[in-house]
Amino acid sequence: MSSTAPAAVAAPKKARAAKKATPSKDAAPKAKRGESQRYKYSELNKASLTSGEAQHIYGVIIDATFPYKTNQDRYICSLKIVDPSLYIKSQKGTGDSSDFATVVLYAKRFEDLPIITRLGDIIRVHRATLRLYNGQRQFNANIFYNSSWAVFPQEGAGHGGASHSGKNYSFEKSEDATLANIRKWAQGYFQQYNVVSSDLYVPLAKAAGQKSDFDVVAKVNQVFELDEYTNELRLRDGSGAQTWNVLALKLKFPNVHAGDVVRIRSATYDETSTQKKVLLLSHYSNILTVPANSKLAKEVKAKAGDEKLDKAAINGVNATVLTEVDKKHAGLPVHSLLDLFHNIETDKEIQSKDTFRTQFYVTKIESADVKEWTKSYDKKTKKGASFKGQKGNANAIYQVQFLVKDVSTQFNSNTYKVLLYTHDGLGANFFNTPADNLYTNDKAAKKLQEYSGLLTKFNSWVDAVVERRNGFYFIKDTKIAF
């Protein structure tokens, strides 16, 4: 269920040749002699209202439904778009909220409609007819008749990354500038304005009071893998203390990542959920990524703040969380062990980072002998030697390996290693007591023995920040809070 893979782009010349053999719906109206531009694009706010003439338009997408089925044989994708002529209501002297035109694409097949995954992407529509619907400019396009669409990613140059309706589509040389211009304008617009103004969504704190469906703008603090097919997104927007949850099929929403700010088009409050706050989606609901460098994404990230580890969410209400992470990692999204040890091999988003927050339980600690948790570290050979039989505590460091699991990995047979190696200072405060010779410091050894019991106790969890070095994960900025 993905958008059509971009086919080779037909050059205008080729498209013209093809028209003779098989009429293409995207073929041009007859060009006048000497006129190189076949499509003249209308500004969203200038296109004539009285004329029934079809319009060709470019717009920046600020909202979209997922393509959905209506009756027997109609599929619809409804979008909100803006351009330099139509983007904010103050242009009409009515405040700073978003202004936009809507686009309604009609098709007979699901695959003839675009799947929009990001705000800020550019859509081009050929042969859309304009009308006024509920006071909004609405461009209607029948893909099953003679209209066509193409979607260009906001990131990138040219039209190479386009998806489009139909087997072929045309892209004229003169459109390079049109596309580049609207991309540039969109970037500035997303940096200076919130784009999705507050009247277009509901703070999570008010979600429970909504009578009908509503939209949300929130940060994805965690993508939690419930099973092979389903992610549960943990959402925060800073409007309340609680984290909200929404189920998102991996196949339907493959591009949502922890740390993203998203706009959810159409959610309802799940009144039946008592343990945690849940949003429900419909078949027409969509999850759209807000550009990371936009004003809106930055504001929401700042407000969403720290993830409160949700005991009920990780393993039932009886779970105990033994640790706390440093405040400076407030807002760091949580990654599962599956992400850290498996998905990192293929996921560029994860590969690009080296500090993660993760939550696990400890199945075993090595060494089993607490007295061997500390070593005397030789900086030259980079090796730790046992304190057994030694006096003093020269160059004492912790060298402890935790064998860990979490919900995402509980059904496979692997265990995963997370290291507390403090030779570079990482994780030095984890046990709240400096590394020492545990053969001579009985008090510290006794305390660590207690921690050992706590860490491996059933339903005890560790909420940790880890740093990836040479493929290993080292605990840092985390300490036991008991």
Q: Which residues bind DNA (CB under 7 A)?
A: 23, 25, 63, 65, 68, 70-71, 74, 76, 78, 80, 102, 104, 106, 129, 131, 133, 138, 140, 142, 144-146, 200, 212-215, 265-266, 282, 284-285
**DSSP bridge pairs for 320:** 460
In the complex, the smallest distance separating the C-beta of residue 200 from DNA, rounded to whole angstroms, is 6
Closest CB to DNA among 296 and 319?
Answer: 296
Nearer to DNA, 144 or 439 (CB): 144
Which one, 213 or 299, has the nearer CB to DNA? 213
The span from the CA of 140 to the CA of 19, in Å, is 25
In the complex, minimum distance from the CB of residue 132 to DNA, in angstroms, rounded to a whole number: 9
Rounded CA-CA distance 328/324 in Å is 12
Q: Which is nearer to DNA, 86 or 200 (CB)?
A: 200
Specify the 3-state DSSP secondary structure of 278: strand
H/E run at residue 175? helix 175-192
How are the residues of the chain apportioned to helix, strand and coil, as percentages rounded to the nearest 5? Answer: 20, 35, 45
The sign one gets for the Cα dihedral 141, 90, 293, 349 is negative
Give the orientation angle of helix 175-192 with respect to helix 295-304, to 10 degrees. 30
d(Cα 466, Cα 329) in Å, to the nearest integer?
Answer: 11
154 or 285: whose CB is closer to DNA? 285
Does the bond joining 367 to the residue before it have cis omega, within 30 degrees of 0?
Answer: yes
The token pair that represents 396 in the structure block: 């004492």
Q: Which is nearer to DNA, 48 or 70 (CB)?
A: 70
In whole angstroms, how close is the CB of 134 to DNA at the nearest point?
Answer: 8
Rounded to a whole number of angstroms, the minimum distance from the CB of residue 144 to DNA is 5
> In the complex, what is the shortest distance from the CB of residue 162 to DNA, in angstroms, rounded to a whole number?
21
Q: Which helix (H) or strand (E) holds 474?
A: strand 472-476
> What are residue 277's DSSP bridge partners?
244
Please, which residue, 165 or 441, has the CB nearer to DNA?
Answer: 165
Q: How far is the CB of 63 from DNA (least distance, A)?
A: 6
Residue type, 276: K
Q: How far is the CB of 239 from DNA (least distance, A)?
A: 18
Tokens matching residue 369: 């002998």
CB-wise, 59 or 384, nearer to DNA? 59
Instruction: Provide, rounded to whole angstroms, the least separation between the CB of residue 24 and DNA.
Output: 8
Calculate the CA dihedral of residues 182, 187, 189, 195 and round it to 10 degrees. Answer: 110
Query: Strand 244-249 relative to strand 277-290: parallel, antiparallel, unpaired?
Result: parallel
Quickly list DSSP for 360-393. Answer: EEEEEEESSSGGGSEEEEETTTTEEE--TT--S-
In the complex with DNA, the residue whose CB is nearer, 164 or 375, is 164
Residue with tokens 């940790």: 464
Q: How far is the CB of 173 from DNA (least distance, A)?
A: 26
Give the whole-angstrom CA distance, residue 380 versus residue 357.
31
